[in-house]
A and B are shown apart, each in its own frame.
Chain A
Amino acid sequence: MSIQELWLLLPVLIISAGILALMLQASWKRSCYLAQGICLVTLFLALAALINNYPTDLKTITILFEYEPIGGFFSLLLLMVGISVALLQGPYMGANSKEVAEEFYLLLLLSCLGAMLLVMSRHIGSVILSIELMSLSMLAILAYNRERKLALEGAMKYLLLSGAATSVLLMGFALLYASSGQMMLVDMLQSPMGLMAKSGFVLVLAGLAFKLSLVPLHFWTPDVYQGAPVNSTLLLTTLSKAAVFALFIKLILLVPTDFEADMVRMLSWMAIASMLLGNWLALQQQSLKRLMAYSAIAHMGYVLVAGVIAMGIDHSLVLEGVSYYLLAYLVASILIFAVLTLLSRLDDQQDLEELPQLQGLFWQHPWLATIMTIAFLSLAGMPITIGFIGKFYLLTLAVKLSAWWLVTTMLVGSAVGLYYYLRVIFTLFAPAKSDMPQAQAAYLSKIWIGLIAASLLLLGILPGLLGDQLRSILSIG
């Protein structure tokens, strides 16, 4: 490994160094402020390093990793998520929580590390290692409040099912290896694909679809989302989805032509089922976390549409669409969960998540409610929010390919989705019922949230700011 390669790995190395520093700090002097500070500094340094040498072409780093624009863009998203979670954990925990603070930041950095390595992976070994690094540290985060029964239950479910999914993934890779004799992702999928290779690839996709909670592998999602402390749910619904999707789309782009028709059929059905079922089951949810879980299922279905289309036409627009849509989804999710986090406390038995508890939020905390409203409007795909531009990309792609089934499902899904997003928004504007204490101070977190909310509107009103650049950001050379 040359100095050049180490230099490319700099963001990852910074995070690793941050993890070590945090461990040292925890053994030397326990302080939640210090830990948060170290975590944030690490993430911001990594962000700076990533932006500073943003990849413009494909460079390989040993046989395990590669450094290329798509991974770079997704790493930016992942770091944005990591910073948000780190900033929100402070007010969520409070200064004297029953749980220790340092380990959360440690686990957060570990899962960020795993996610960033995952988007850079080009080898079976690195995929498995980084996906497990991400999932296992996330598992501990999900059960961070040990006194919440639901959290423990959810984490247990996640552990078992995620373990099963990983073994499916491994099995798939094993079959692919057996048929091709290759361990690099690029070489593994060779045409013509035999039955063994095909089934191996399907198993790999199934393992990833579990992490993305695509129907029919979605059953764990609502329980885990509901049980986990709200800040951990945020991490689960953003970090792992974005990182896994990056790998997913990479694999899909590698599908050889003779397997394309089958893949299109399979993924179309998954996308259609996810959009319909996710939106349908979200309709009557009273718990916002469950609602967001089903909405996540539906939104992953929407992005999958782009994945399906990726096999059909010009890749540049597909990648732009996927990136924009995921960015929109991440931004909206961060904002919604951030508002919930600011209204809840880790030490309580329950987070503030039931819809009636949020009634009249607008009249008590207008800023928080405004942020939540625009975030939900963005998820619903209303214009002047970034969500609309994401939807516009996907619809353009689907219409371009004349995939009318997908278009119809997207329309039906959006229509159903409107209802429950609107239900939440209407609740926020109903007459106020009870007092809702929000986290005091925490100015840094609030400024950050404000920045993200502003970018949600800015990129919705002036889509050209990012949209015109995306092509050059994402393309090689």
Chain B
Amino acid sequence: MALSFLIWLPLLFGICAWLSEKKYSGLGNWITLISLIGLLIFTLYLGNSGSSSLSWQWFARFNIHFALLFDGLSLLLISLTIALAILAVLVSWNDIEKHRGFFHFNLMFSVAGIIGVFLAADLFLFFLFWEVMLLPMTALILIWGHEGRRYAAFKFFIFTQVSSLLMLIAIIALALYHQNQTGQLSFNLGELQQLVIPDTMQFWLMLGFFIAFAVKLPMVPFHSWLPDAHTQAPTAGSVLLAGILLKTGAYGLIRIVLPLFPSATMEFAPVAVTLGVVSIIYGALMAYSQTDFKRLVAYSSISHMGFVLLALFSWNEVALQGAILTIVAHGISSAALFSMAGMIQHRIHSRELGNMGGMWKSAPKMATVTLIFVMAGIGMPGMANFNGELFTLLGSYQQFPVQTIVASLGIIGSAIYGLHLFQRAFQGPPNVDVVDLHMRELVFTSILVAALIYFGLQPHIVLELSSDTIGSLMQTARELRP
């Protein structure tokens, strides 16, 4: 019961914020902020009492249940979601000029949808949340985005929606296969895991899910929605998109594709890993050639998510740990860079690196913080991203040595584009005068810095939370790969 509050409460508070913003301007910010902090505490409290689950009868004709499962991995990702939503509220505190109440409603609505994805234990429910979280996100891009928002919103919506239709077919086929075998339709993840699926069928089903998740991740060649959506979205939207939405793809792979279709996954792994490596290199190259701050960070996301793909399909313990570390670390660091981009854009009304330059002189604090974020992004030891990349490369080298060697070039690439970004924006002759960070901005950027360093030095917290999931995945792997 308490578990479902995680989904209802954000919606409820979102409506509250919408209504109260109409009465008193500015109140919406506070309501959203306080309720999100409350939700974070509530989540941690729930997580403290171990994993829990819930299942209600929902659509009996198809044996569909409203089933939620809350374990370590869910706890980790939900906390990350709420924390980044708090960041999104803080960073757009004064940014949103029109329809502020509706903005908060959409923000909370998407948080509710994302939390739903991380909780769902029934594939029908999973699909429902998967689609529903798109709507508010599209609205965020469409209404509060930048100049090319209409096109970006279209592209974002249609890419994800079309790919998820394939997933819907796969879900239905899977449930019908369950009916074939046991006489009863089932959409329950746990029950479906018991199925033994013939290889060809497993392959096609896996492909349906894989494409949906690969588009979200995104993986080259399904990535082209991402640079547009990230660039055109308002800062809060970019933070949520890069920090969380991309991770739902990785989460889907961990929760559904690997456990349900293990042998098909292993067979498909060389292809997926190669595509992951292509994403890493392609993302890094494209990032280097960008002149738009946000676009650059967007392409770097493609590169980083390539590591996750590489790690997941290598499927050994170290690599899986690397994937989860990267998910968390990239969530924080890319959200941090996008919020920096937002702050700069708020000041100079441009995202072009050509219009920046020499900002260190007028805004030293901002420059220092950005430097730390960039360093985290390129994987400096001691910061969270380093652990993720190291584990990923270590783990996948045992399975796919060639691909891993090529992938490690991506780290060099990331150093090049990262430093390039920093140099063009903050060093060189002063081009623009900007106001340095305010108190509010200083507070949340320093929290982000602290988080990056903390997870860099204490990765075991993340690993402990996800150990159950990884353990059971390894169990499956050992059965198939003696």
Q: Is the beta-carbon distance between A464 and B59 smaller than 8 angstroms?
A: yes
Within 8 A of A (CB), among B135-176: 135, 139, 142-143, 150, 153-154, 157-158, 161-162, 165-166, 168-169, 172-173, 176
- CB-defined contacts of A407 to chain B, threshold 8 Å: 169
Residue A414 is within 8 A (CB to CB) of chain B in the complex:
yes
Q: Is the beta-carbon distance between A395 and B168 smaller than 8 angstroms?
A: yes
Q: Is the beta-carbon distance between A422 and B157 smaller than 8 angstroms?
A: yes
- CB-defined contacts of B132 to chain A, threshold 8 Å: 382-384
Q: Is the beta-carbon distance between A414 and B165 smaller than 8 angstroms?
A: yes
Q: Is the beta-carbon distance between A464 and B158 smaller than 8 angstroms?
A: no
Q: State the majority secondary structure of interface residues on B.
A: helix
With A419-B154, A462-B58 as given contacts, are A429 and B169 in contact (CB-CB < 8 Å)? no
- CB-defined contacts of B438 to chain A, threshold 8 Å: none
Query: Which one of A209-217, A220-228, A237-245, A465-473 is at the interface?
Result: A465-473
B57 to chain A, nearest CB (A): 7
Q: Is the beta-carbon distance between B176 and A400 smaller than 8 angstroms?
A: yes
Q: Is the beta-carbon distance between A399 and B135 smaller than 8 angstroms?
A: no
Q: Is the beta-carbon distance between A467 and B131 smaller than 8 angstroms?
A: no
Q: Is the beta-carbon distance between B131 and A411 smaller than 8 angstroms?
A: no
Cβ contact of B142, chosen from A395, A396, A426, A464, cutoff 8 A: A426
Residue A254 is within 8 A (CB to CB) of chain B in the complex:
no
- CB-defined contacts of B19 to chain A, threshold 8 Å: none
- CB-defined contacts of B128 to chain A, threshold 8 Å: 383-384, 388
Q: Is the beta-carbon distance between A399 and B154 smaller than 8 angstroms?
A: no
Q: Is the beta-carbon distance between A418 and B153 smaller than 8 angstroms?
A: no
B148 to chain A, nearest CB (A): 13
Cβ contact of B165, chosen from A415, A422, A426, A467, cutoff 8 A: A415
Residue A463 is within 8 A (CB to CB) of chain B in the complex:
yes
- CB-defined contacts of B172 to chain A, threshold 8 Å: 392, 395-396, 399
CA separation between A411 and B60, bound complex, in Å? Answer: 26
- CB-defined contacts of A467 to chain B, threshold 8 Å: 59-62
CA separation between A383 and B59, bound complex, in Å? Answer: 14
Within 8 A of B (CB), among A449-470: 462-464, 467-468, 470
Tell me which of A383, A422, A467 has the highest count of chain B C-beta atoms within 10 A of its own C-beta. A383
CA separation between A463 and B128, bound complex, in Å? Answer: 12
Q: Is the beta-carbon distance between A463 and B59 smaller than 8 angstroms?
A: yes
CA separation between A321 and B276, bound complex, in Å? Answer: 41
CA separation between A430 and B142, bound complex, in Å? Answer: 8
Q: Is the beta-carbon distance between B60 and A464 smaller than 8 angstroms?
A: yes
CA separation between A388 and B172, bound complex, in Å? Answer: 13
- CB-defined contacts of A411 to chain B, threshold 8 Å: 162, 165-166, 169
- CB-defined contacts of A400 to chain B, threshold 8 Å: 176
Question: Please, what's the 1-or-0 string for A25-55, where 1 marks a CB less than 8 Å from any CB in chain B?
Answer: 0000000000000000000000000000000
B339 to chain A, nearest CB (A): 25
- CB-defined contacts of A414 to chain B, threshold 8 Å: 165
Residue B444 is within 8 A (CB to CB) of chain A in the complex:
no
Residue B127 is within 8 A (CB to CB) of chain A in the complex:
yes
Within 8 A of A (CB), among B91-128: 99, 127-128
What residue in chain A is nearest B143 (Cβ atoms)? Answer: A429
Q: Is the beta-carbon distance between B169 and A464 smaller than 8 angstroms?
A: no
CA separation between A395 and B142, bound complex, in Å? Answer: 30
Q: Is the beta-carbon distance between A422 and B61 smaller than 8 angstroms?
A: no
Q: Is the beta-carbon distance between A396 and B62 smaller than 8 angstroms?
A: yes
What residue in chain A is nearest B129 (Cβ atoms)? Answer: A383
Within 8 A of B (CB), among A377-417: 377, 382-384, 388, 392, 395-396, 399-400, 407, 411, 414-415
Q: Is the beta-carbon distance between A399 and B173 smaller than 8 angstroms?
A: yes
Q: Is the beta-carbon distance between B154 and A422 smaller than 8 angstroms?
A: yes
A363 to chain B, nearest CB (A): 8
Q: Is the beta-carbon distance between B161 and A418 smaller than 8 angstroms?
A: yes
Q: Is the beta-carbon distance between B135 and A382 smaller than 8 angstroms?
A: yes
Cβ contact of B61, chosen from A383, A419, A471, cutoff 8 A: A471
B261 to chain A, nearest CB (A): 17
Q: Is the beta-carbon distance between B173 and A383 smaller than 8 angstroms?
A: no
Q: Is the beta-carbon distance between A415 and B169 smaller than 8 angstroms?
A: no
Within 8 A of B (CB), among A320-376: 320, 363
- CB-defined contacts of B131 to chain A, threshold 8 Å: 382-383, 388
CA separation between A463 and B64, bound complex, in Å? Answer: 10
CA separation between A422 and B60, bound complex, in Å? Answer: 32
- CB-defined contacts of B60 to chain A, threshold 8 Å: 464, 467-468
Q: Is the beta-carbon distance between A383 and B127 smaller than 8 angstroms?
A: yes
CA separation between A274 and B173, bound complex, in Å? Answer: 25
Q: Is the beta-carbon distance between A415 and B168 smaller than 8 angstroms?
A: no
- CB-defined contacts of A399 to chain B, threshold 8 Å: 169, 172-173, 176
What residue in chain B is nearest A391 (Cβ atoms)? Answer: B168
- CB-defined contacts of B62 to chain A, threshold 8 Å: 396, 467
Question: Please, what's the 1-or-0 string for B188-221, where 1 marks a CB less than 8 Å from any CB in chain A?
Answer: 0000000000000000000000000000000000
Q: Is the beta-carbon distance between A418 and B135 smaller than 8 angstroms?
A: no
CA separation between A125 and B143, bound complex, in Å? Answer: 57
With A383-B132, A399-B172 as given contacts, are A429 and B57 in contact (CB-CB < 8 Å)? no
CA separation between A407 and B169, bound complex, in Å? Answer: 8
B58 to chain A, nearest CB (A): 6
Within 8 A of B (CB), among A420-439: 422, 426, 429-430
Within 8 A of A (CB), among B59-86: 59-62, 64
Tell me which of A363, A377, A422, A471 has the highest count of chain B C-beta atoms within 10 A of its own C-beta. A422
Q: Is the beta-carbon distance between B158 and A429 smaller than 8 angstroms?
A: no
- CB-defined contacts of A363 to chain B, threshold 8 Å: 99
B15 to chain A, nearest CB (A): 13
Q: Is the beta-carbon distance between A415 and B162 smaller than 8 angstroms?
A: yes
- CB-defined contacts of A468 to chain B, threshold 8 Å: 59-61
Q: Is the beta-carbon distance between B162 and A418 smaller than 8 angstroms?
A: yes
CA separation between A430 and B150, bound complex, in Å? Answer: 9
A418 to chain B, nearest CB (A): 6
- CB-defined contacts of B57 to chain A, threshold 8 Å: 464
- CB-defined contacts of B166 to chain A, threshold 8 Å: 411
What residue in chain B is nearest A461 (Cβ atoms)? Answer: B128
A399 to chain B, nearest CB (A): 5
Within 8 A of A (CB), among B225-241: none
What residue in chain A is nearest B60 (Cβ atoms)? Answer: A468
- CB-defined contacts of A377 to chain B, threshold 8 Å: 135
CA separation between A320 and B62, bound complex, in Å? Answer: 12
Cβ contact of A418, chosen from B61, B127, B157, B169, cutoff 8 A: B157
A323 to chain B, nearest CB (A): 12
- CB-defined contacts of B153 to chain A, threshold 8 Å: 426
What residue in chain A is nearest B128 (Cβ atoms)? Answer: A383
With A384-B132, A396-B62, A426-B142 as given contacts, are A419 and B158 in contact (CB-CB < 8 Å)? yes
- CB-defined contacts of B157 to chain A, threshold 8 Å: 418, 422
CA separation between A320 and B61, bound complex, in Å? Answer: 10
- CB-defined contacts of A418 to chain B, threshold 8 Å: 157-158, 161-162
Q: Is the beta-carbon distance between A396 and B176 smaller than 8 angstroms?
A: yes
Tell me which of A399, A463, A468 has the highest count of chain B C-beta atoms within 10 A of its own C-beta. A399
- CB-defined contacts of A415 to chain B, threshold 8 Å: 158, 161-162, 165
CA separation between A244 and B350, bound complex, in Å? Answer: 59
B412 to chain A, nearest CB (A): 39
A424 to chain B, nearest CB (A): 12
Q: Is the beta-carbon distance between A429 and B142 smaller than 8 angstroms?
A: yes
- CB-defined contacts of A463 to chain B, threshold 8 Å: 58-59
Further pairs besides A320-B61, A418-B162: 15, Cβ < 8 Å:
A377-B135, A383-B128, A399-B169, A399-B172, A400-B176, A411-B166, A418-B157, A462-B58, A463-B59, A464-B60, A464-B61, A467-B61, A467-B62, A468-B59, A468-B61
Give A contacts to B, CB under 8 Å: 320, 363, 377, 382-384, 388, 392, 395-396, 399-400, 407, 411, 414-415, 418-419, 422, 426, 429-430, 462-464, 467-468, 470-471
Name the 10 nearest CB pairs between A and B, nearest first.
Answer: A383-B128, A464-B59, A415-B162, A383-B131, A468-B60, A467-B61, A463-B59, A399-B172, A411-B165, A468-B61
Give B contacts to A, CB under 8 Å: 57-62, 64, 99, 127-128, 131-132, 135, 139, 142-143, 150, 153-154, 157-158, 161-162, 165-166, 168-169, 172-173, 176
Ordered by A's residue number, 7 sampled pairs between the chains whose C-beta atoms are within 8 Å are: A320-B61, A399-B172, A399-B176, A400-B176, A414-B165, A426-B142, A467-B59
